[in-house]
Amino acid sequence: MTRINGYLEGIYTFLSPLSHIGDSHGPDSFLATQEILDLNGRPIEVFTYSGNAIRGVLRDCGSKYFLDRLGRDWMLKVPLDVFYLLFSGGSIGGNQSIDIDQARRIREAVPIISILGGGVGNQILAGKMCVNDAYPVCKECKHIIPGEYFDDAEGDLLSWRQMTTERSYTRTDDAKDENKRAYLQDENQLKLKSGEQMMLLSDGEGNKKEKNKKKDEAPVQMRYTIEVMQTGTKLWHRIDIRDMTEVEFGALASCLVEWSKSPYLGGQNRIGMGRAMLMYNWHPVGGGSETFIDTTCSVPLLGNTASEAKQKYDEYIDKYAAYLDEHKEGLVKLIDAKS
Rounded to 5 degrees, what are φ and ψ at 49?
Answer: -95, 125
Question: What pLDDT sits at residue 308?
Answer: 38
Question: What pLDDT sits at residue 176?
Answer: 73
Residue 253 scores a pLDDT above 80: yes
Query: Is the sign of the CA dihedral 136, 141, 143, 147 positive or negative?
Result: positive
Q: Which residue has the higher pLDDT, 156 or 328?
A: 156
Nearest by Cα to 111 from 73, 169, 178, 65 = 65
Report pTM: 0.78
Confidence band of 160 (pLDDT split at 50, 70, 90): very high
The 3-state DSSP class for residue 185 equals: coil
Confidence band of 229 (pLDDT split at 50, 70, 90): very high
Cβ atoms < 10 Å from Cβ of 9? 22
Nearest by Cα to 321 from 70, 84, 89 = 70
Q: What is the pLDDT of residues 86-141, one digit of tens each?
A: 888 877 665 555 556 766 676 677 788 889 988 776 777 788 999 999 999 999 99
What is the residue type of 24? S
Residue 47 scores a pLDDT above 70: yes
Q: What element of type H or E holds 53?
A: helix 51-71
Range among 37-51, 105-119, 175-189 rated most confident: 37-51
| DSSP 8-state class, residue 90 | B
Q: List 302's β-bridge partners, or say none.
A: 293
Question: What pLDDT sits at residue 290?
Answer: 87
Question: What pLDDT sits at residue 179?
Answer: 74
Q: List 226's β-bridge partners, or say none.
A: 29, 167
Q: List 168's β-bridge partners, or say none.
A: 225
The 3-state DSSP class for residue 23 equals: strand
The 3-state DSSP class for residue 208 equals: helix
| DSSP 8-state class, residue 239 | E
What is the residue type of 307? S
% of the chain at pLDDT higher than 90: 33
Question: What pLDDT sits at residue 334?
Answer: 57
- Burial code (b: 16+ CB inside 10 Å, e: under 16) for 61-89 equals bbbbbbbebbbeeeebebeebbeebbbeb
Residues 25, 217, 267: CA angle, nearest 5 degrees: 35
Residue 188 scores a pLDDT above 70: no
- Mean pLDDT value of segment 243-269: 89
Residue 205 scores a pLDDT above 50: yes
% of the chain at pLDDT higher than 70: 71
Q: What element of type H or E holds 207?
A: helix 203-216
Find out whether 204 and 213 touch, Cβ atoms under 8 Å.
Answer: no
Question: What pLDDT sits at residue 278?
Answer: 94
Q: Which residue has the higher pLDDT, 206 or 111?
A: 111
Q: Which residue has the higher pLDDT, 270 or 328?
A: 270
Rounded to whole angstroms, the Cα distance separating 282 from 105 reads 29
Confidence band of 151 (pLDDT split at 50, 70, 90): confident
